Amino acid sequence: MPLLANAIVSSTRSGATVLLNTSLRIYPMRFETAPVGALLEQAPYKFMADPGTSLLPGDIISGYNPLGESPGTTYVVRQVVAIGGLLPHLEGVLIPAPNSARLAELQLAAQALLPDIANIQRQLSPSDQWSTVGTAQCRLEPSKNPVNEIPIPRPLDTLQRWLMTTVVTAGLLPNDHVVANGRTWQVIGSFAGESWEVNRVWLLVLRS
C-alpha cells in the first residue's frame, strides 16, 4: 500500500483553520460498500493513520495522488473509526472532492431523484396570511428514528416528525409551511450542511 509521508490536513473546527502534517496510508476501496453518503459514486478510498492523528469527518486532505491525478486533488474525510487490539490505529473513508463542474453534475443528478413539488408558504408578519413564496422540488418521508439534533419547540414536539430532502438552493426558512400531496408540514430547521453539499435535508413536523 502506498504511504503518504507529509499530508496537509486542513480543518475549520471552531471557526479556525488548522494545519498539521501527518502520515497516512491510502488505498482504493475496491471491495467495500460502506454507507459514506451521497458522494459514494466518487470512488471512495480507505485510509489508515496513527491512533493519535487528529482527523475528523469534514477535514480536507491534499497532496496525495494515488491514481496519478493532477496536482491539487483534495479528499474529504467522511468516516473515522478507532481500531484497538495489538496494532491500534485509525481507519476511515475518503471521498475525492469534486470540482465545481462535477459538483453541479452531482446536484443535477440528485435533483432527478426528488419526485414531489411542494409549495412554500410564509407568514411575513404575525398578522399576515400565509402566502405562497415559491416551490421546492423535494422527497418527503416519515422519520424512522428519533431526531435529536434539532430541538423542536413545544407544542410541536408531539407531532409526527418527517424528513424532506431538497436541492441545496431550496430557500426554505424555519417556521415555513410546506404543502404537498394534500398535506401541510412546518419546517423546524435543516441539518448542518457539509462541504460539497449535494442535497439538503430538513426536519419537518406534520401539521395536517
What CATH number labels 3-97?
A: 2.30.110
- Residue type at 132 in one-letter notation: T
Question: What's the rounded Cα separation, in Å, for the pair 36 and 79?
Answer: 7
Q: Are 124 and 144 in contact (CB under 8 A)?
A: no
pTM value surpassing 0.75: no
- Asked if 3-97 and 106-206 have one fold, the answer is no
C-alpha to C-alpha distance for 103 and 133, rounded to whole angstroms: 27
Q: Are 35 and 41 in contact (CB under 8 A)?
A: no
Could you tell me if 13 and 173 are in contact, meaning their C-beta atoms sit under 8 angstroms apart? no
Residue written as cell 400565509? Answer: 130
What does the pLDDT look like over 90-140, one tens digit per residue? Answer: 888 887 776 777 777 778 888 888 999 999 999 887 777 888 999 999 999
Q: Rounded mean pLDDT of 47-75?
A: 70
- The architecture that CATH gives domain 106-206 is Beta Barrel (2.40)
Distances 32 to 3, 21, 43, 89, 93 between C-alpha atoms, Å:
20, 28, 11, 19, 10
Domain map (residue ranges) of the chain: 3-97, 106-206
Residue 64's pLDDT is 59
pLDDT of 74 strictly over 80: no
Grid cell at residue 39: 458522494
pLDDT tens profile 160-206? 889 999 988 888 999 999 999 899 999 998 876 666 677 888 989 89
pLDDT of residue 42: 56
Model confidence pLDDT, tens digit, residues 7-58 = 666 666 655 666 666 777 777 776 444 444 444 445 678 888 888 787 888 7
